Structures are given as structure tokens and as C-alpha cells.
Structure 1
Amino acid sequence: MVRATDGRGVFPASYAPASLVMQIVGLGLLIGTLATAREGSVAVWAVYAASFACWFVFHFLVENRPRAAGIALVLSAALPAATAGWAHDSTAVIMVSVVLGRFTAWHRPRTAALWMVVGGCLLLTLLTSAAGGAGLGDLAGYTVMLLLLTLLGLNQRQYQLRAHQAEQLLDQANLMQQEQAQVAVLGERARIAREIHDVLAHSLGALTVQLKAADSLLDNGDIDGARARVQRSNRLADDGLAEAAAAVAALRDDVIPLPDMLADLVEHFGRDHHTEVRLTTSGTVRPLPSGPVVALVRAAREALTNAAKHAPGGAVTVALDYGTDQVRLEVCNDIPRPKFVDDGPPVSGYGLTGMRERLALVGGTLETGPDDTQRSWRLAVEVAT
């Protein structure tokens, strides 16, 4: 947006047409008044000429030297006000009214200075007019004329100030939106960096442990044990690649639909652990942001890993429900022992505490514990959408 500057601040260039109209109207009124003046005094004409010159000086200096321009405009009003009582007609009063209208329409003067100038010029005009023999009717008419044009100028001033304030509020709103967008981008980058870091740190750490164990078993001649460790390492590598792919997909906002990701997870888990896993989906399926999708898949993976660790071979059910304003994921598995024990983070997860922290980042909640029958362990996750 192109803008014009002045001594007090920055005003949109859209104000220029209104200001130009006021200049043209004011100039036309001054020229018309002077052209029809019935004045025989050379001294009064000299005052009119000086006032007219100050009017032009104001418009010449208003952009670059507003203080000097303001002095010129005050002089343009004060000179005819001082000679109103000796003029042969109302030309001086009309000139004072026009100049005061322009002065009060100017946005730069402070309110106190504005009323001081208006009051001073009005008082000077009435005093000199009374001294020149003007009657009460003439003085009342002069007052009405001065106040009328002054009020018109004040109305224009208020419009400019309101427009300026609206422009400032718009700039502040745009700046706030830009800052919010930047914060959102930085937050998303931090989240993705955290996800990738967790995937790499856990996957590589678990692989290192398994491979070192396999190497130790080979040294002891336990070929079967070493083979099992290598096979376990292979599964860990596959899980790490899958989680890394999910994190990268979240970065690109190219996430596979949640039911498809859960179906793939359930299929691989059932095949790898020789476990019966049943997946059900209810409600109207709809696209979700990448953050909640990755968090829900991570929670399902954690729950399945806990089921394999604490209740191997038991049946598992995974229920996904799309509600009106939230998505709920519930994983239930049989409890072969009286009590579930969270004895540390499993090899392909980050523990229930870490899961709660990551769900909180996307507005989700986590509940764990036995169901009403005390025969199944239930993990329930809700994410607002």
C-alpha cells in the first residue's frame, strides 16, 4: 500500500483525495469571496493578500515542515480576524471561517492547541467586529458561520483519525498473524525434530543392544540365541523405518489415513507375534491433521507392544471411533496375571509417561487400567479434532 507521511506519523495515501477536495473547496471559497469583496481600503486588501499567501505557504510546507505550515495557517486566520471590524463587508469573517475549517480538519494539531486557535480567532473576530460597530445580529451570524465551518472541519479530522487508527489496528493484526504463523511453523518444526530424534535415538539404541547381545551369544556358541537376536534386530529396524516414515509424512502433511495406518500396524503385529488382533472402526471417517494421526498411531504401537510384553499370546482388540469433535482409540488385551505392571519402556515404545506427554502436545488425553471385568487391560486415547 502506498502511503504519504507527515510530521506525526504515517497515513495511507487513500486520504489524499479527501484532503485534495478540501484544498480545492477552500481555495474556491477564498477566491470567490475575494472576487466579490466590496472593499475600498488598500490596507485591508493588503491583509487579505497576506492571509491568502499564508494559505498557500501552509499547503506548500505541510508535508515536509508541518510546524512552520501550522504557523502559516494560524496567521492566515488571525490576519483577517484582526481586521474584521474595519472591513466594509463580511469578506474577512468568511476568510477566517474557511481557514479555521481547514485548520480543524488537519490531523496534526493537538486538541488543546486546536481549541486555543479556534477560540482565539473567534474572540478576535467578535471583538474587532464589535469595535467596528457590528450589531448583535451580525455578531451572532459571524459566530454561527465560524462554528459551522469549524464543526465541518472537526468532522473531517475525526474521520482521518479513525481511519488512521483503523489502519494501525490492521497493521497490528497483520503483524500478529505473521508472528503467530511463525510461532506455529517453529512449533511444528520442533515437534517433527523431536519425533525424528526419538525414532532415531530409540531405534539405533535398541539395535545396538540387540546386536551386542547377538555378538556375545556368538562368542558363547549360542547360534540359536544369536539368530533370535538378529531377527529381533530386523524387526526393530522395520519398526524404526515405519516410524521415521510417519514422522517425515507429518513434515510433508502427506499422512496416510489413520484407519489404513492402524490396519497395517495391526496386520504386522499379528503376523510377527502370532497374536489374534481385531480392528474395528466406527463413526464417520474424516481426514485429520498430521500431528494427531502420528500421536494416535504411536499410542496404538505402544499399546500393542505392551500387550506383547505383558500378555503374550492374548487376544487384542483395537477400536477406533470418530466422534463429533474428538477421535477415540481404545486398545484392550487379556490379562494373564493379576496385575499389569509398567516395568519400564518396551523396546519399540517410549513408555506411558512419554506417550502422555506427546498426546498433550496435540490436545490428547490418555487413560490406562483394567476394565470393569478386571480381565482385560484397557488403553484409551482421545484427541480433540
Structure 2
Amino acid sequence: MPAEESVPSPGDDSGRGAGARPVPGHDPRVQWVVSLAVVVAGILTIRPMGFSGRGLAVALLFAVNSAALLARRLPEHRVSPRLALVWLTLGVVAAAALIGLSSSGTGYLFAFFIAGHIGYRLETRPALVLAGLCSLLCGAVLYLRLGPGHELLPWMLGVAAGAPVVIGIVNRSQRQAVRAAIEAAESAERAARAEARTAVLTERGRIARDVHDVLAHSLAGINMQLELADALIDTGDLEKVREAHSKAHGLVKESLKQAQWTVHALREDALPLRETLTAMLASSGHRDALTVTGTVREVPAQAVQHLLRIAQEALTNAARHAPGGAVAMELAFAPASTALRIRNRPATRRAAPGTGSGMGLIGMRERVALLGGTLAAGPVTEGPHQGDWQVEAVIPQ
């Protein structure tokens, strides 16, 4: 019977230390008990055993066989295949010699257990060759009657000494199958963790873009009106102060509506694209500025979400950098794509000091890239809209 080894998990360096994972159904403690039982049985039954003559030779061979048997518990990473081959070959020779020199006892058990471990520790071909050598040596010792008392045991028992190698080979195959299953499971677990982490980072980026869009759109407009109110206070024109204050108050209400849009988007709720764009333009003071061309069709919820955020960012930039300029928006449905264009005329009044975060265009490009589309932003250099600033997002159908 061979001793079964511990199967290491992929992360513990082939069973290093106490954290090795045993093969299911094989307890290493049982293997220690069996090995020690063979040694104790040998001490009690193998004769002669003493401190001189043949008894000394038997005692020395018994010690060598015991060491070879107990060495089965050495971890594989500590014993190279070549060293294992040498150790097991010496163990086979020592077992055959013990059978030949002893007159009685259970010396043959060492040959059986070592042969079983040969099949477990070595590859199939060298294991079969060494097991054949074990059977040949043990059978020859008994058949040729090289040791006293050989007539008590049939020589066929020696030939069968190498048979347990088959059990060792089966156990090694089982160990390798279990190890492969464990490695596959842990590899799948690592891949799942990496995928989950990627999904979390992607979702964080998405939420960051949405939060930026809402804050930039709402706070920029509110700040602009409050700064205007501060400037008007010095002039004493209370009517215009009230007007600026009223607009700021309206923008606060609008920011609440935008927060609701963001919550809907984060929950993947589908918003009506045209109606929402119209509401955005109206809340920004640009009524009847939306033009729809092409055959209207339903747009996927994710594309709607990103198009609304792009429109929101473009309107924010227009209000910040071109205050007072007219804004026009076009939603174009083509057979293979959906395009959203936002154009604004140059400013008609002085823009408030300060710059944006610089993340607006980056966020818009990221959104379009997620959908496999393209985004262009810059001044219009020719045509009837020359001098306008235009943002165009094209999403493939």
C-alpha cells in the first residue's frame, strides 16, 4: 500500500509548510500510523536482530528499510526526481537483502510498501521498471534460496512484491486530477475577482462622469446668476437683482430635476430621448431649439443615457463660455447611426471669470467610446454656421 501525499493548493508553493491541502479521502495522519505500524511489526517479528554477526547486518538493513519507508512523507518539492529514484532504488535493494538475511518476520512488508510508493512518486515508465526490479530481486532471493528459512515462504511472494506499484500509479493519477481541479477552480475564482474589480472600476468611472455632469451643469449656472446679482447690488438696480435671484432659484429647482435624471440613469431606467432633450433646452432658456431629422426609432437605454449626459455637458459649456449665445440642437437618425449635434453662437455678454474642471470633453469622449462611436468638438469653420462652436456625437446603430 503506498502512502498518499498532500495535494498543494496553487498558492502555497506545492504544499510548503502546514497549509498543504490533502487529497480528499486520504488523511496524512493515517499514513504515518501505517508506516509506524510496519516498523513496529518489523521490530517485533524480524529475526535475528542483534549487535553482532548476522543479527547486526539484519538490524542495519532494518534501519535502512525503516528510513526508506518513513521518507515517503517527505514533500515532493524537497526531493528531486533523480534523488527520489536513487532513494527508492536503494530501498528496493535493502528490502530484498532484508528478506534474504532474515530468517523470519515481516520484512517483505517493506518491499510491498516501497513498491507502492514507487508508483506514486515516479513517472509511470521508471516506476514500472523499478517495480520489476523489486519483484526480480525479491523473487530471486527466495527462489535461489539465498537466505535461511526461505522455504517458509513461496518464491512467488517475492515476485508479487512489485505489484503494489499499480496502486501507487492509480493514487498518483488521482492526486494529479484533484490538483488540476483545484487549480482550475482557483484560476476561475481569480478570473472572477479580476472581472468583478474591472466592473467596479468601470461603474466608478461612470458614476464619476454622471456626478461631474450634474454638478457642473447646475452649479455653474447658479454661480453665474449669483455673481451677476452681486454685481447688480452695487448698481442699486433691485429689479435686475431680483431677476438674477429668481433665475438662480430656478436653476436650483432645475438641479433637483437633473439629480433625478442622474438617479434614473444610474438605475438604468429608460428616459425618453427627445422629450428629455427638449426639457433640458427649455430649462437652459433655449425653447424650440431641438430639430429631429430622419426616421425616429427607439434608442437603447445605455445610448440614451450617454447622449443625455453629452447634451447636458455641452449646454453647461455653452452657458459658461458663451453666455447669451443662441443654442441649437439636432438629433439625426440615420440608417446606421444616431447623431447628436449641439451648436452655440458666440457670447453676447461677458463670460464669468474662472475655468471649468477640464473633465467635460474627456467625459464626453469616454462616453462615446464606450458605445463605439465618435465625438468631434470645435469651432465650425465653414458653411452657414461658421463661427459657432459645435459638439457632435455619432453613435453606431
Q: Would you call these one fold, judging by a TM-score over 0.5?
A: yes
Q: Residues 262 and 297 of structure 1 are in contact (CA less than 8 Å); yes or no, is this contact kept in structure 2? A: no
SS at match of 2:376: strand
Letter in 1 for 2:278: V
Q: Deviations over 1:64-92 (max 9, x none)?
A: 9xx9xx9xx9999666522555799xx98
Q: How far did residue 282 of structure 1 move? A: 4.3
Letter in 1 for 2:312: R
Partner of 2:374: 365
Structure 1: state its 5+ residue gaps.
Answer: 31-40, 136-140, 338-342
Q: How far did residue 366 of structure 1 move? A: 0.8
Q: Deviations over 1:5-45 (max 9, x none)?
A: 7865633663549xx9x9xxx99xx9xxxxxxxxxx9769x
Letter in 2 for 1:328: T
SS at match of 1:14: coil
1:295 aligns with 2:306: yes
Q: How far did residue 203 of structure 1 move? A: 3.1
Partner of 2:267: 254
1:204 aligns with 2:219: yes
Q: How far did residue 177 of structure 1 move? A: 1.8
d(CA) in 1 for partners of 2:174, 2:335: 52
Partner of 1:241: 256
Change (3 A) 1:162 1:360: farther
Q: Residues 97 and 149 of structure 1 are in contact (CA less than 8 Å); yes or no, is this contact kept in structure 2? A: no
Letter in 2 for 1:362: L
1:277 aligns with 2:290: yes
Q: Which has the higher contact order (CA 8 A, sep 6+)?
A: 2
The number of residues matched between the two structures is 333
What's the TM-score, normalizing by structure 1? 0.58
- Counterpart selection for 1:331 from 331, 338, 341: 341
- Counterpart selection for 1:99 from 103, 106, 113: 113
d(CA) in 2 for partners of 1:180, 1:311: 47
Root-mean-square deviation (Å): 6.0
Partner of 2:277: 265
d(CA) in 1 for partners of 2:220, 2:317: 19
Partner of 2:332: 319
Letter in 1 for 2:199: A
Letter in 2 for 1:298: R
Partner of 2:234: 219
Partner of 1:37: none
d(CA) in 1 for partners of 2:288, 2:110: 97
Q: How far did residue 163 of structure 1 move? A: 2.1
Partner of 1:34: none
Q: Residues 305 and 346 of structure 1 are in contact (CA less than 8 Å); yes or no, is this contact kept in structure 2? A: no
Percentage of identical aligned residues: 25
- Farther-moved stretch of structure 1 (123-132 vs 370-379): 370-379
Equivalences for residues 165-180 of structure 1 within 5 A = 165-180=180-195
d(CA) in 2 for partners of 1:358, 1:240: 23
Q: Deviations over 1:94-147 (max 9, x none)?
A: x567424531454xx5x59x969984x754653464465559xxxxx9999666
Letter in 1 for 2:361: T
SS at match of 1:278: strand
What's the TM-score, normalizing by structure 2? 0.57
Change (3 A) 1:370 1:205: closer
Q: How far did residue 167 of structure 1 move? A: 0.5
Change (3 A) 1:43 1:328: farther
Structure 2: state its 5+ residue gaps.
Answer: 1-5, 9-14, 39-45, 50-54, 79-83, 146-155
d(CA) in 2 for partners of 1:278, 1:220: 40
d(CA) in 2 for partners of 1:285, 1:357: 19
d(CA) in 1 for partners of 2:226, 2:140: 110
Change (3 A) 1:383 1:168: farther
Letter in 2 for 1:210: Q
Q: Deviations over 1:284-313 (max 9, x none)?
A: 54443xxx6543212123445677859956
d(CA) in 1 for partners of 2:286, 2:142: 112
